[in-house]
Homo-oligomer: A and B are copies of this chain.
Amino acid sequence: MHKEHHVTSSEIIRDVVIGMSDGLTVPFALAAGLSGAVSSSALIVTAGIAEIVAGSIAMGLGGFLAGRTEVDHYNSELKREYNEVEQVPEQEKAEVKEVFAGFGLSVGLQDQIADELSKDKKKWVDFMMKYELGLEEPNPNRATKSAFTIGVSYIVGGIIPLSPYLIIHTAQEALYYSCGVTLICLFIFGYFKSKLTGQPALSGAFKVVVIGALAAGAAFGMAKLINGG
């Protein structure tokens, strides 16, 4: 039997990718930037941890609320569609026909589809939700899990660039190790992320590294500039 291999990356992986890619990049660039302005690693660790705490809460809770909003939005549109198939069924049938007119089906066939579909209100509404409005039913439990996964991934990602500053007391020296370890991790991360989303792995990895390096370089340069170079 013929089997299709379309790309479907799981939602958990998507959340890990979202959290970790920002977690690796932003605390890394912040620490690099501060290394251009202060010499004590202790201060950079404080700033880095404050950033990781702030970023993980903002992203995690942000993800949670976005998920909740999606569920609310879906439910309110669902209610509206149920009302509409009750109150203006002819209008809703015309909308079903419009969908198929768009794909060049004959008027006769459009009518048949609309008639058959309208016999089962639940399926009719399902059809309108999915194909008129483009809305998939969200999983109500996903918001919590998603928040947690994104938040934890951000923390895990953020600890990596910060770790050299925990061990080495001179910021400028720690910066070299932070760059080394983070760019390697960004490369590995970008490689697997690209593999999982069905993109060319090497160029994907390279892109992720470039974003991290650019962000860190720009933050470093800006911090030096503010402090009179």
Rounded to whole angstroms, the CA-CA distance of A28 and B26 in the bound complex is 15
Q: How large is the interface on A (under 10, 10 to 19, 20 to 34, 35 or more residues)?
A: 35 or more
Rounded to whole angstroms, the CA-CA distance of A174 and B43 in the bound complex is 19
Known A50-B222, A91-B2: A57·B73 in contact at CB below 8 Å:
no
Rounded to whole angstroms, the CA-CA distance of A72 and B123 in the bound complex is 33
Known A26-B51, A51-B30, A58-B25: A123·B104 in contact at CB below 8 Å:
yes
Q: How many protomers of this protein does the assembly include?
A: 2
Rounded to whole angstroms, the CA-CA distance of A46 and B229 in the bound complex is 12
> Which A positions have Cβ atoms within 8 angstroms of B?
2, 4, 6-7, 21-22, 25-26, 28-30, 32-34, 36-38, 43, 45-47, 49-51, 53-55, 57-59, 61-62, 65, 69, 72-73, 76-77, 80, 84, 88, 91, 100, 103-106, 109, 112-113, 116-117, 119-120, 123-124, 126-127, 130-131, 133-134, 136, 197-199, 204, 207, 211-212, 214-216, 218-220, 222-223, 226-227
